[in-house]
Amino acid sequence: MSFPLLTATAALPAVGAIATAAVPAARRTAAKWLALLFSLATLALAVVVAVRFDPDGDRYQLTESRSWIADFGVRYELGVDGIGVALIALTALLIPFIILAGWHDADPLETKSSRWRPTQGFFALILAVEAMVIISFEATDVFLFYIFFEAMLIPMYFLIGGFGDRAHTGSDENASAQRSYAAVKFLLYNLVGGLIMLAAVIGLYVVAGNFSLQEIAEARANGSLDMATNTERWLFLGFFFAFAVKAPLWPLHTWLPNAMGEATAPVAVLITAVVDKVGTFAMLRFCLGLFPEASKWATPAILVLALISIVYGALLAVGQRDIKRLVAYASISHFGFIILGIFAMTSQGQSGATLYMVNHGISTAALMLVAGFLISRRGSRLIADYGGVQKVAPVLAGTFLIGGLATLSLPGLAPFVSEFLVLVGTFARYPAVGIIATFGIVLAALYTLVLYQRTMTGPVKPEVAAMPDLKVRELAVVAPLIALLIVLGVYPKPVTELVNPAVKHTMSDVQKKDPQPEVEAVK
């Protein structure tokens, strides 16, 4: 039997979570280093997965399959395509930076008399989330996917509610109430989506007789599974609703600004750059893979919702006074672009959407983590409390600017390529939708540049006059992310070559071909 590489990649952070939680209370620094080492070891395994994966080989590779709950046809079944490999690599890449950025986030909660070990708990929960997200990208059994899709809500709930942002303007009691509200809202929204999906999962089993994604897809292809039109549409809606909550898609998005605003900056990155990608990934793998006809039926409505997300999220970002909530609304707009690319049903759109998932994760991590370093120095999330920062902390201001420019998809930085592909792919099939979506780019330039102007330029406010610049640990977090934004902006080929064959399979699932150009090429 070959080495179970996919299991090891998901199990290693889970073991790290247990080991970190078990570190004695007095050894807080040891717990931090242990968590970091496990995250780096997971990154090494993710690199091995990427190297072992052959983009031109079988659709699902490095597969593992074992009987689990035989009476109900549930199997422990894993496999990755190019899209899964790219997102596993993104997750494994970001977690070490999240740990480094949150190095001191749990320290204020420590007391000598407390039996609770918040430092150990904080880093153990981050590793637990990583393990569940990775196995979600690997699972090809629908029931196995569902378990971890829901289970990741538990550690995220405690990370938001128990380790929330301490930068606030009100009383400690009010801040605690806001954190609790954000955590409960996050949990309830996603639980409701998950329960609706559970009903659809059970319905799928009743119709198909098993939970294997590959077996169901093969049965649909050879005609041995003929799903009634209405049945397929209801099952699709059950799955899509849960993924749209996680994504988050308007109007199911309202939990995200609360969660990102009240969480620490590293946890906010964990939410939007890592956890939320499970929703858009699942739309490609499960909605389009299991319910191709229903996906085409629902496309017009989903495109409208994606357009609303793009414009609505950007408009609300323009009017925000809170830095972190601005980034949250910007992310809602970006997820609208991702979903738009998925349901444009073109190879350019879906390749762009997948690339956007990766690039959005990197760019949002860069911007939000630098914003977190800024907020930790001033103790406020309000934009109006800053001014002239670039004169006292030029490196911080410079990295903040690059992160912001990546958010508005400046040419030469990674998100530009993905956003361009999404718009090209959308315009090819739905020109009016593509034109309206471009307004999101204009608004992105507005909210990004206004944010930079108000915080970094102008007279130096007395409260920021003594603000220190980025330290070595903080530079170690930000510099690699900035470098990746530039490298993938100039040379995205490694990612596109990885995901394009998987996109072709997805296009085949829904039996769609790219529209032919209306004007012939000049010979």
Nearest to 512 by CA among 432, 420, 425, 418: 425
Nearest-angstrom CA–CA distance, 151 and 442: 38
Nearest to 146 by CA among 189, 83, 188, 197: 197
Model confidence at 172, pLDDT cuts 50, 70, 90, reads: low
Residue with tokens 């992105």: 444
Please report, for residues 130, 136, 149, 309, 355, the alpha-carbon distance to residue 252 in angstroms, rounded to integers and kept in the order given: 24, 21, 17, 10, 24
With 0-12 CB in 10 A as exposed, 13-18 as middle and 19+ as buried, what is 369? Answer: buried
Give the lowest-confidence range in 64-68, 169-173, 300-304, 498-502: 169-173
Measured N-to-C along each axis, helices 292-318 and 229-246 cross at an angle, to the nearest 10 degrees, of 30
Neighbours of 38 (CB within 10 A): 26
Q: What per-residue confidence (pLDDT) applies to 215?
A: 84
What's the chain's average pLDDT? 88
Q: Could you tell me which residue, 198 or 221, shows the higher pLDDT?
A: 198
Q: What per-residue confidence (pLDDT) applies to 486?
A: 94
The average pLDDT across 462-471 equals: 86
The 10s digit of each residue's pLDDT in 51-90 is 999 988 888 999 888 888 887 778 899 999 999 999 999 9
Report CA dihedral (140, 141, 147, 152) to the nearest 10 degrees: 0
The average pLDDT across 11-37 equals: 91
Q: What per-residue confidence (pLDDT) applies to 111?
A: 61
Nearest-angstrom CA–CA distance, 236 and 200: 8
- Residue 273, pLDDT > 50, answer yes
With 0-12 CB in 10 A as exposed, 13-18 as middle and 19+ as buried, what is 301? Answer: exposed
Helix, strand and coil content of the chain, in percent to the nearest 5, comes to 75, 5, 20
Q: What per-residue confidence (pLDDT) applies to 277?
A: 92
Does the pTM surpass 0.85? The reply is yes
Q: What per-residue confidence (pLDDT) applies to 303?
A: 94
Helix (H, G, I), strand (E, B) or coil at 56: coil
The 10s digit of each residue's pLDDT in 136-147 is 999 999 999 999
The average pLDDT across 215-238 equals: 84
Model confidence at 519, pLDDT cuts 50, 70, 90, reads: low
- Residue 228, pLDDT > 60, answer yes
Asked if 451 contacts 404 with a C-beta cutoff of 8 angstroms, the reply is yes
Q: Are strands 61-69 and 74-80 parallel, antiparallel or unpaired?
A: antiparallel
Q: What per-residue confidence (pLDDT) applies to 168?
A: 55
Instruction: Tell me which H or E stretch contains 64.
Output: strand 61-69
What is the C-alpha R_g of the chain? 22
- Residue 20, pLDDT > 90, answer yes
Asked if 153 contacts 129 with a C-beta cutoff of 8 angstroms, the reply is no
Nearest-angstrom CA–CA distance, 387 and 249: 33
Model confidence at 1, pLDDT cuts 50, 70, 90, reads: very low
Please give the share of the chain, as a percent, with pLDDT higher than 70.
Answer: 95
Please report, for residues 313, 429, 431, 435, the alpha-carbon distance to residue 422 in angstroms, rounded to integers and kept in the order given: 18, 11, 12, 12
Q: What per-residue confidence (pLDDT) applies to 518?
A: 66
Q: What per-residue confidence (pLDDT) applies to 151?
A: 92
Q: What per-residue confidence (pLDDT) applies to 9?
A: 95
Tokens of 452: 């930079």
The average pLDDT across 165-170 equals: 59
- Residue 46, pLDDT > 70, answer yes
The 10s digit of each residue's pLDDT in 148-161 is 999 999 999 999 98
Nearest-angstrom CA–CA distance, 506 and 350: 9
Nearest-angstrom CA–CA distance, 317 and 366: 18
Residue with tokens 């640990």: 473
Tokens of 213: 């994604």
- Residue 434, pLDDT > 70, answer yes
